């Protein structure tokens, strides 16, 4: 009989790579091989745009995106294509990203056939192996997306992404539309795949609870800029940026997860006309004159922990979280 696990491992086997990205208003975000980076922010902050640029779906307007240390825009065509295939995106709503007229077999098999990664006659076998790996019954090979539940459709989306042998997975709100119990199953699947395949993830979410659960490192984005990034432990133990602190003071409990995410006081300004100086100054309880004029840059405040706030240059002034209250 066929050893699906072995074939799949061989099919997917590849070396871990390094990816460095600078995109969206001078955002600097380095993602190391094998890492899970949680990218958090309110809707409209640019996190999906950054994810799409990293996935090669949107061109970057300026800045440099490096893939394994090389500028992506300067790569020869074949290498650029390989780099793009190596980055796959998994979206929030699998229904809108799966062609309703195609069977699961075609949806998952399409890209690897088109890119010459598998012969058409071998595609069903590969799709079967992928379906098993993501927890789908392979006897459903010829079914259509509407015949599956939301969680199963997300598994189909994951299998489709895995089919082109990616090294880097960008999850854009990939579990946000799912019930909490299904969320946990899909998150577990992501973490299993990371272990087995050495995958690297950018996990984009508005949900700090989910991010806390899976990330090695957390980056916070506000109006097109990363304002803080730190190893997850340090991030949750000693948050620094006033925006981060506002977000953390509002982490919803599991029951409240479905709530609309707009916890920080004040309207989110238009990203097209961001405030001067520190973009956060109109909503920041610590803002002072300099904040309205000068843009704070990311500075290292502890090992691997960077934050963009003028208070960090004023000894004893850095913002600190309010004592958490237990309700
Ligand atoms: Fe607040 Fe100023 Fe720091 Fe911006 S730079 S977060 S406005 S204190
Ligand atoms: Mg988005």
Phi, psi of 226 (to 5 degrees): -80, 125
Instruction: Verify whether ligand 1 is closer than 6 Å to residue 286 (CB atom).
Output: yes
The per-residue pLDDT for 97 is 80
Please state whether beta strands 217-222 and 225-231 pair in parallel, antiparallel, or not at all (unpaired).
antiparallel
The CATH number of the structural domain formed by 4-215 is: 3.40.50.300
Among protein residues, the one with the nearest Cα to ligand 1's atom 7 is 281
Q: Is 282 helix (H, G, I), strand (E, B) or coil?
A: helix
The C-alpha atoms of residue 4 and residue 2 are separated, in whole angstroms, by 6
Residues of the chain with CATH 3.40.50.300: 4-215
ipTM, 2 decimals?
0.95
Cβ neighbours of 165 (radius 10 Å)? 19
C-alpha distance across the termini of the chain, in Å: 58
- Confidence band of 266 (pLDDT split at 50, 70, 90): confident
Ligand with smallest separation from the Cα of 240: 1
Q: Is the CB of 291 under 6 A from ligand 1?
A: yes
Of 244, 264, 284, the residue with max ligand 1 atoms within 8 A of its CB, to mutate for a pocket test, comes to: 284
Ligand with smallest separation from the Cα of 296:
1
Indicate the DSSP class of residue 144. -
Could you tell me if the CB of 290 is within 6 A of ligand 1? no
CA of 282 from ligand 1 middle (Å) equals 9
pLDDT tens track for 173-186 = 888 888 889 999 99
Q: Separation of 92 CA from ligand 2 center, angstroms?
A: 9
The reply to whether ligand 1 has any atom less than 6 angstroms from the CB of 52 is: no
Q: What is the pLDDT of residues 175-234, one digit of tens each?
A: 888 888 999 999 999 999 999 998 999 999 988 888 998 999 999 988 878 899 999 999
Nearest to 213 by CA among 241, 192, 188, 196: 188
pLDDT at residue 302, rounded to an integer:
92
CA distance 223 to 281: 12
Ligand 2 centre and the CA of 257: distance in Å? 17
Q: Is 157 in the pocket of ligand 1 (CB under 6 A)?
A: no
Mean per-residue pLDDT over the chain, rounded: 79
Burial class for 238, CB neighbours closer than 10 Å (0-12, 13-18, 19+): middle
Ligand 1 nearest atom to the CA of residue 292, by list position: 7
């Amino acid at each position: 009989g066929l050893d699906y696990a072995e074939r799949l491992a061989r099919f997917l086997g590849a070396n871990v790579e390094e990816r460095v990205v600078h995109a969206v208003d001078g955002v600097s975000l380095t993602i190391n091989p094998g890492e899970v980076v949680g990218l958090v922010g309110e809707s409209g902050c640019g996190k999906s745009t950054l994810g799409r640029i990293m996935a090669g779906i949107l061109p970057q307007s300026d800045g440099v995106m490096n893939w394994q240390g090389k500028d992506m825009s300067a790569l020869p065509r074949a290498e650029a294509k390989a780099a793009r295939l190596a980055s796959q995106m998994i979206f929030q709503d699998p229904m809108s990203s799966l062609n309703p007229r195609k069977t699961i077999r075609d949806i998952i098999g399409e890209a690897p056939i088109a890119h010459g990664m598998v012969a058409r006659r071998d595609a069903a076998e590969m799709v079967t192996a992928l379906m098993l790996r993501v927890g789908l019954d392979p006897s459903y090979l010829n079914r259509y997306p509407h015949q599956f539940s939301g969680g199963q459709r997300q598994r189909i989306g994951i299998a489709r992404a895995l089919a082109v042998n990616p090294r880097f997975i960008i999850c854009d709100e990939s579990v946000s539309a799912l019930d909490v119990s299904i969320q946990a199953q899909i998150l577990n699947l992501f973490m299993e795949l990371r272990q087995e395949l050495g995958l690297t993830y950018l996990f984009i979410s508005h949900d700090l609870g989910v991010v806390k659960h899976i990330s090695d490192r957390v980056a916070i984005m506000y109006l097109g800029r990363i304002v803080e990034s730190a190893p997850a432990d340090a991030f949750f133990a000693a948050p620094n940026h006033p925006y981060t602190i506002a977000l953390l003071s509002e982490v919803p409990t599991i029951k409240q997860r479905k709530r609309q995410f707009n916890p920080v006081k004040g309207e989110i300004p238009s990203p097209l006309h961001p405030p001067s100086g520190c973009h956060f100054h109109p909503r920041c309880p610590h803002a002072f004159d300099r904040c309205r004029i000068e843009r704070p840059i990311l500075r290292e405040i502890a090992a691997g922990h960077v934050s963009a706030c003028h208070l960090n240059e004023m000894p004893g002034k850095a913002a600190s979280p309010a004592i958490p209250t237990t309700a």
